[in-house]
Amino acid sequence: MKRILITGALGQIGSELTGKLREQYGADHVVATDIRKNESEAAQAGPFEILDVTDGEKMLEIAKKYQVDTVIHMAALLSATAEANPVFAWNLNMGGLMNALETARELDGKFFTPSSIGAFGPTTPKDQTPQDTIQRPTTMYGVNKVAGELLSDYYYHKFGVDTRGLRFPGLISYVAPPGGGTTDYAVEIYYEAIKNGQYTSYIDKGTYMDMMYMPDALNAIVNLLEADPSKLKHRNSFNVTAMSFDPEQIAAEIKKHIPQFQMSYQVDPIRQKIADSWPNSIDASAATEEWGFKAEYDLAKMTTDMLDKLKVKLQPVQE
């Protein structure tokens, strides 16, 4: 990986991934792109181009301009937002992916895009969901992710594009806000715990979903991209996870640091239905065996770090 192009670089994952890759490979070697621009480090600390991923010609033009050899495709509509606007989601998620795969093929490059636990559905085994299993999702996001996994495998088999992917669980971070997923509650809860000492959860008690702290997700992307291809039996996409919890468990963990913290529930039927169709916990052993995946953060370690970092971030600015 000498020159990397990232789409959706200002999103929850992209904004931190861009910084990590620039540290590792050199700022000039990582071209951040997004449909919008802001004042973030990802947009300011190295090459940045405005790019709508549905514009395949422009994507290829930018990739050629910077002599890109690796495409990391992040731009997408997430689960809850996609469910509210399914046709738009199909066009963006599938159109953008196709353009990104074509760009990687034209440049004979490497390719990474995330799938999700949303690629599973109500008929998937719910506990310790295996790497290879039934995938019949009932959301537009899930349909896009399954199609994306298959399309990425197709580009590997048909055209020899070195495609690799991860099925991410809900990702928790303190840098950029989440972009409309079903697991966003597990980020919001930390902000609200510090700001107001209480949180109203839109996900019901007893709803277990897999989660992972952002540093583990970023390491997983880099380690998979650097993995020896001869060891990979799977490609698109690997189950990865660090923990599985329900809202009560994360609330109990926060209470250890903020004893007065109060949790209440006002369940959102749309996001609850999506959550109910996803696994309780997934099995990441294929990722461990094939390229050494390991997560460092469990719920306790993540909660300590999130609260420490957010207390600093949310401090009122001193005049």
Q: Which residues bind ligand NAD (CB under 6 A)?
A: 7-8, 10-14, 34-36, 51-54, 74-76, 78, 92, 114, 116, 168, 170-171, 178-179, 181, 183
Least gap, CB of 140 to ligand NAD (angstroms): 12
191 in active site: no
**9 φψ region: left (φ > 0), alpha (ψ -120 to 50), beta (else):** alpha
Using the minimum distance from each CB to ligand NAD, give the nearer residue, 247 or 258.
247
Using the minimum distance from each CB to ligand NAD, give the nearer residue, 224 or 259.
224
Using the minimum distance from each CB to ligand NAD, give the nearer residue, 1 or 217.
217
Using the minimum distance from each CB to ligand NAD, give the nearer residue, 240 or 315.
240
- State how beta strands 198-201 and 162-168 pair: unpaired
Least gap, CB of 114 to ligand NAD (angstroms): 4
Least gap, CB of 90 to ligand NAD (angstroms): 13
Using the minimum distance from each CB to ligand NAD, give the nearer residue, 255 or 309.
309
Q: Which of 141, 174, 202, 213 is catalytic?
A: 141
Least gap, CB of 277 to ligand NAD (angstroms): 15
Give the number of other Cβ atoms within 10 Å of residue 314's Cβ.
Answer: 12
Least gap, CB of 260 to ligand NAD (angstroms): 29
Residues known to be catalytic: 141
